[in-house]
Amino acid sequence: MKSRLDFSTLTLRGALDFAVTIEEDAEDRYRDFARQVSDPAAAAFFREMVVNEGKHRRQLESRRAVLFRHQPRRFESLADGEGEAPSPDEVLPGISVREAMEVALAAEVRAWEFYDRAIPHVQDPDVRAFFEELRAEEVEHQELLRAMLAKLPPAG
């Protein structure tokens, strides 16, 4: 990830806010893919991922609310290529199932990279442990996407 985020100065609030935004973006992206792809199995997979990413977002928001309830969010949106959000040129109308899966895989890798780079700077032991769980889940998401990609015909 070529992040403009300076992890050495990342505060706990900033890490949580960035993570919430990552999960929101993933939820939105999977929702869009579920609507865009014509393959019923792929659409069902993407809908399942919407639920999963939504669960992560709500868990992060809950932790943030406990620690920083009255403080404004530091990250309202991510720059192209930050977190899980694909850049607009990655998600074109009429995207194929393979292209959607490849975009999703690249985004899951970026999310893993965020958590991996953030963890050494997170001092709160509970948040650090949760970020470690999320990092591991990003690997699971990558494995699911790779398995789905392996079942698809080659790009033509």
Cα–Cα distances in Å, from 120 out to 8, 12, 69, 115?
Answer: 9, 11, 24, 9
66-100 pLDDT, tens digit each: 999 888 887 654 444 444 455 545 555 678 999 99
Closest C-alpha to 74, from 4, 123, 25, 19: 19
Is 7 a residue whose pLDDT tops 50? yes
- H and E: helices and strands count for the chain: 4, 0
CA distance 83 to 118: 12
- Residue 1 banded pLDDT, cuts 50, 70, 90: very low
Q: What domains can be seen in the chain, in order of their start residue?
A: 10-151 (1.20.1260.10)
Do residues 36 and 2 make contact, with C-beta atoms less than 8 angstroms apart?
no
pLDDT given for residue 73 in this prediction: 80
